[in-house]
Chain A
Amino acid sequence: MARVVTGMTSEALLQVTGLGKRFGGFVALEAIELAVRDGERVGLIGPNGSGKSTLVNCMCGTLRHEMGSVRFAGHTLDGRSAHERTRLGLARSFQLPRPFNTLSLAENLRVPLLYTVNARHGQALAPHAIDRRCAELLHIVGLADKATNLPRDLTQIEMRKLELARAMAAAPRLLIADEAMAGLSHNEVDDILALLIRLNEQGVTIILIEHIMRAVMHFSQRLVVLVAGRKIADGDPADVVRDPDVVRAYIGE
């Protein structure tokens, strides 16, 4: 019995094993191994086209992977649809914002509350609680005064904030933020970082995909590097950025 318990506690929240993805003859991901513990803050970096977003899409069910498997919180995710994974607690923001264009900002956040939080056992929110949560989330990302606006009224930067708020609205155990900070000013990057770290302190595990190295280094407890569909480094951020392979991939020989 005791063995089972230790087995459960030592299992990673997210476990990616031997994951491979091809687009025709192009190998986008090859034999990716990744384990993320409950409560961790992991940074995921790599040059453009290295497969970061493809990895996220395979983990979240937007794309189907051909090889390997993804386990999350004790469930095997392979073959499960994206909405099931979101309900299990795996939420993501999109690199290019994909708002619901005919719905107001508040309604955009209402969708995951209705379809994810309310779909979980014993978590159903009353209508007024949903309204309050929408307002609260908009306030957190600084869009409170635009609750009734449509997404087309937003700037690209505000759309990224909406994207992040919508992922947060699903009340995830693991949040994957895919370049949530691109294009943001220095101060805004700090705001979003503080927000993500606060979220992490409340128990949400976070994978951050980002090009802004200052943000990645500040945020990450562990850094994973993808290059051309392979994982070339995984470890303490300070060590990883000095790794000769990583330096070569970024700067060239």
Chain B
Amino acid sequence: MSGTKFVFALLIAAAAVFGAAWLIGNNYVFFAGYVVLQYIALATAWNILGGYTGYVNFGTAAFFALGAYTTVVLHKLTSLPLPLMMPIGGIVSGVVGLGTGYLTLRLRGAFFSIATLALAVVAQTLITNWDFVGGSRGAYIVRPAQAWLFGIDYIQYLFLVMLALVVIVLASARAIERSRLGYGFATIRDDEVAAEASGVPTLRLKLLATTLSGAFMGMAGAPLPYYVTYLDPTSGFSLAYAVNGVAMPLVGGTSSWLGPVIGAILLGTLQQVATVTISSALNLLIVGLMLVGFVIVAPNGILGLLRFRDRRARS
């Protein structure tokens, strides 16, 4: 499938998702669906760095929350519509991604991951001590009475905005996979010394990956203040984002754009169901158990399982 055809198919799928949610006619579907969509964007963004180049980022929450807090700042200072705030949140997180990459990409493997974890702590400390965005007390965000553009309910509007972001992120991820850039990222994952010897500018590509990945995470976080209407550092920098950001691509499979989507839908839905039926504290336990299970049984995720079965059926 060519790039334009793929984007077209994505748009149709997105329209179908929105239509289905609309037909159910219950706003809870939009509430829960928003979270799943947000995780699709977050997991795909994580996968651009973690899956394609092999650098495991534990700082997802930092990039995500910086996007959200950018919205808090913009909300207080301006009256920009949300779709314009999102790219700004993306730029902020992208710049932080670039800086983090520049400082940490000399580190390999676990050391890079630890550095990203440290970034999350540093960012959270800074935000907690910044009074303008509410400090540790948090910030209340009053939703605009009307959604910008449409006369629809605000939660439906948020759902739609997140759906649009998912289309953009997925189209970008797939375009990267099939491009020269995708080959470059794969060689970084496989062997950086050999990549350099083949002419791949590894440092530049790694910086591009951290920037893009961070930017998309920031964009995924930007609508959060309007979704929760009250944002404090503990919820913005929640461990859930970091854990899900890693777990969803790994459960789904990191080798292709489809993996994080499968992982996010599976784990995201499961967590939403568990929140309603059992308890909201059970969420991370489910994710943790799934992650352990998949690492043991299917280290290449669901996609890996499917391919393995496919190969066995053919041989």
Contact = CB atoms under 8 A, between A and B. Distances in A.
Interface string A60-88: 11100000000000000000011100110
29 contacts: A61-B196, A81-B201, A82-B196, A82-B197, A83-B197, A83-B198, A83-B200, A86-B196, A86-B197, A86-B198, A94-B197, A99-B191, A100-B186, A100-B187, A101-B191, A102-B190, A103-B187, A111-B187, A111-B198, A111-B199, A111-B200, A114-B180, A115-B184, A115-B200, A118-B180, A119-B199, A169-B198, A170-B198, A170-B199
B202 interface: yes
Contacts of A41: none
B189 interface: yes
A91 interface: yes
Given A100-B187, A102-B189, A91 B197 contact: yes
Instruction: Tell me what chain B mostly uses at the interface: helix, strand, loop, or mixed.
Output: helix
Contacts of B184: 111, 114-115
B201 A83 contact: yes
Contacts of B198: 83, 86, 111-112, 115-116, 166, 169-170
A92 B198 CA distance: 9
Given A62-B193, A98-B194, A102-B255, A83 B199 contact: yes
A98 B192 CA distance: 10
Among B183, B191, B197, max chain A CB count under 10 A is at: B197
A103 B190 contact: yes
Contact of B203 (A81, A111, A170): A81
A110 interface: yes
Nearest to A57: B193
Interface residues on B, range: 20 to 34
B29 interface: no
Nearest to A119: B199
Interface string A93-135: 0100011111100010011101110110000000000000000
B183 A83 contact: no
Contacts of B187: 100, 103, 111
B202 A83 contact: yes
B105 interface: no
Nearest to B193: A62
B195 interface: yes
B200 A101 contact: no
Nearest to A166: B198
A169 B202 CA distance: 19
Contacts of A86: 196-199
A98 B198 CA distance: 11
A4 B133 CA distance: 67
B173 to A, nearest CB: 17
A59 B199 CA distance: 15
Contact of A111 (B183, B189, B255): B183
Interface residues of A, number: 30
Given A98-B193, A100-B195, 19 more contacts: A60-B197, A61-B196, A81-B196, A81-B201, A82-B193, A82-B196, A83-B195, A83-B197, A86-B196, A92-B197, A102-B189, A103-B186, A111-B200, A115-B183, A115-B199, A119-B199, A169-B198, A170-B198, A170-B199
Nearest to B180: A114
Among A86, A107, A114, A169, max chain B CB count under 10 A is at: A114
Among B193, B199, B255, max chain A CB count under 10 A is at: B199
B42 to A, nearest CB: 24
Interface string B176-190: 000010011011011
A86 B193 CA distance: 12
Contacts of A94: 193-194, 197
A101 B190 contact: yes
Among B183, B184, B202, max chain A CB count under 10 A is at: B183
Interface string B54-95: 000000000000000000000000000000000000000000
Nearest to A167: B197
A114 B200 CA distance: 9
Contact of A115 (B180, B190, B191, B255): B180
Given A82-B197, A115-B199, A166-B198, A107 B190 contact: no
B193 A102 contact: no
B68 to A, nearest CB: 34
A118 B198 CA distance: 12
Contacts of B201: 81, 83, 115
Contact of B197 (A62, A101, A102, A110): A62
A83 B196 contact: yes
Interface in B144-184: 180, 183-184
A111 B201 CA distance: 12
Contacts of B196: 61-62, 81-83, 86
Nearest to A111: B198
Nearest to A87: B199
A191 to B, nearest CB: 24
Contacts of B189: 102
